[in-house]
Structure 1
Amino acid sequence: MEFTRLLDCLAADYDRLRVVADADPGAPVPTCPGWTVADLTRHVGEVYLHKTVAMRDGVEREDWPPKEFAEEEPAALLDRGYTALRAEFAVRAPEAPAATWYGPDQSVGFWIRRMAQETVVHRIDAELATGQPVAPVPDDLAVDGIDELLKIFAGYSVAEWGEYFTDVLDASPGRTFLVRAGDTAWRVRTGPGEFTVTDGAGDGTADVTLSGSPQAVLRRLWNRHDADGDDGTTVEGAPEAVEELRRCIVEATQ
């Protein structure tokens, strides 16, 4: 996606999150056990400010969040964080250097993409918590989010921090997963110490096929789908194979 488009999506989802979060700050968030909407709001504000510092100072601070943040109202912290984040994006080109946890991309553009995706997932959290309708996720943003989740979160994490995936992958017989989101597809291969992703459906059969609209697949992979009823996806494959993919993604995103 173009960075201007990602920034537009970030703005729209921030605006939606801000409105929804005010509806019921005390509501529990089912997709983030132990959090209320106020906790979620505070978290997003803290994340925005953390990434602002990563761009400004060139380092991702580990001593975060600062203790004084706890004295700030969650909505005020969210507003302050978003204002600071957008101000930082406004004075830096996407290709400018920035500290990130993803070795291959140490640029401001990484955080533009990551914050757009962070915000859409958390505004869905807030909508689910408050019982409000989940606003549509644009197809291009959803496809980009699936790509980020599979390649950068899961694929990179397994390659760099494989010890965290030992319980999931060491006993894997080697499996192939086909993920289809509308007209876009990815082929995933797992095995001991392996989570590789290639673009396209590829050749041959898959042990598991997950398909649906881009929005539905994004929400399913992020475990943000509705708990009851049809979530708009189709999953074909053995339960143990489906569970392997799910556990890899959970481990990569926690």
Structure 2
Amino acid sequence: MDFSRYLDHLAADFARLRALVHTDPAASVPSCPGWTVADLARHVGEVYLHKTLAMRENAEPSPWPPKELADEEPLRLLDRAYAGLLDEFAAREPEDPAGSWYTPDQTVGFWIRRMAQETLIHRIDAELGTGQPVAPVGDGLAVDGVDELLKVFVAFGVAEWGDYFTDILAGSPGRTYVLRTDGAQWRVRTGPGTFLVEDGAGENAADVTVTGPPTALLRWVWNREGAGERTEVTVEGTPDAIGELRRCIVTATQ
């Protein structure tokens, strides 16, 4: 996806998120247990500030967040952080260096993509928290979000920080998963210390298949389906196998 399109999506989803925070900051967020919508706004603001510094200093700041941010009103923090993030993006090219936890891509472009996807997921959180309909997600952005989660979060996480996944994968018999949506398919292979992702469904049968429209599949992999909401995702496979995939995703995205 072109970086200008990521920025367009970022702007639209930020505006939606901000409006929902203003509407009902005290609402509980079911997809982020223990958080209110105001807590969600604070989190997103802190993330924006953190990534702005990662680009400015070419290294992710740690420890984080600074204690003084806790005293700032959440919506004010969110607005200030978003303005700073946009200024930083505008001052740089996507290929410019920027520190990130994802060693294969240490560029500003990585953060443009990541912040577009981060904001999308959290505006869905705000919609779920305030009981508002989930606004449409462009198919391209949704497909890209599934791809990012599988490859950047889970596959890289297992390869780089395998100890976090030992309890999940050490006893895995070796399973195959196929995820399908409009215009994209992924084949995932798991096993002890292994989580590999390939584009395409492959020719052999899979232990689990997950199929749905782009937005529905994105929400499924990110566990952002509303309680009692009719899902458009079809999941076929044993509970143990499905649980293995789910646990890998949750661990990688905590």
SS of residue in 1 equivalent to 2:42: helix
SS of residue in 1 equivalent to 2:186: strand
Is 1:188 aligned with 2:202? Answer: no
One-letter amino acid matched to 1:135: A
Aligned-pair CA distance for 1:203: 1.1
Aligned-pair CA distance for 1:231: 1.3
Root mean square deviation of aligned Cα: 0.6
Aligned-pair CA distance for 1:236: 0.4
CA distance in 2, matches of 1:235, 1:42: 34
CA distance in 2, matches of 1:229, 1:59: 41
2:252 corresponds in structure 1 to 252
One-letter amino acid matched to 1:227: A
1:211 corresponds in structure 2 to 211
Gaps of at least 5 residues in structure 2 are none
Aligned counterparts, 1:108-187, within 5 A = 108-187=108-187
Q: Under a length normalisation based on structure 2, what TM-score does the superposition of the two structures give?
A: 0.99
1:235 corresponds in structure 2 to 235
CA distance in 1, matches of 2:230, 2:37: 25
CA distance in 2, matches of 1:91, 1:186: 35
Taking only the aligned residue pairs, the percentage that are identical comes to 66
Q: Under a length normalisation based on structure 1, what TM-score does the superposition of the two structures give?
A: 0.99
One-letter amino acid matched to 1:198: E
CA distance in 2, matches of 1:71, 1:229: 36
1:222 corresponds in structure 2 to 222
Aligned-pair CA distance for 1:230: 2.0
One-letter amino acid matched to 1:138: G
One-letter amino acid matched to 1:148: E
SS of residue in 1 equivalent to 2:93: coil
Structure 1, residues 13-53: CA drift from partner, whole Å, max 9, x if none? Answer: 00000001111101111000110000000000000000000
CA distance in 1, matches of 2:138, 2:20: 19
One-letter amino acid matched to 1:154: V
One-letter amino acid matched to 2:25: P
2:10 corresponds in structure 1 to 10
Aligned-pair CA distance for 1:182: 1.5
Aligned-pair CA distance for 1:124: 0.3
Aligned-pair CA distance for 1:183: 2.3
Structure 1, residues 146-181: CA drift from partner, whole Å, max 9, x if none? Answer: 000000000000001111001100110000000012
CA distance in 1, matches of 2:206, 2:156: 22
Aligned-pair CA distance for 1:68: 1.4
CA distance in 1, matches of 2:190, 2:128: 32
Structure 1, residues 43-71: CA drift from partner, whole Å, max 9, x if none? Answer: 00000000000000111111211111112
One-letter amino acid matched to 2:20: V
2:87 corresponds in structure 1 to 87
Q: Find runs of 4+ consecutive structure 1 residues off by over 3 angstroms.
A: none
**Number of aligned residues:** 254
One-letter amino acid matched to 1:156: F
Gaps of at least 5 residues in structure 1 are none
1:71 corresponds in structure 2 to 71
Aligned-pair CA distance for 1:129: 0.3
Aligned-pair CA distance for 1:136: 0.8
SS of residue in 2 equivalent to 1:118: helix
2:58 corresponds in structure 1 to 58
CA distance in 2, matches of 1:153, 1:73: 31
One-letter amino acid matched to 1:118: E
SS of residue in 1 equivalent to 2:196: strand
CA distance in 2, matches of 1:209, 1:226: 21
CA distance in 2, matches of 1:93, 1:155: 27
CA distance in 2, matches of 1:34, 1:222: 18
SS of residue in 2 equivalent to 1:22: helix
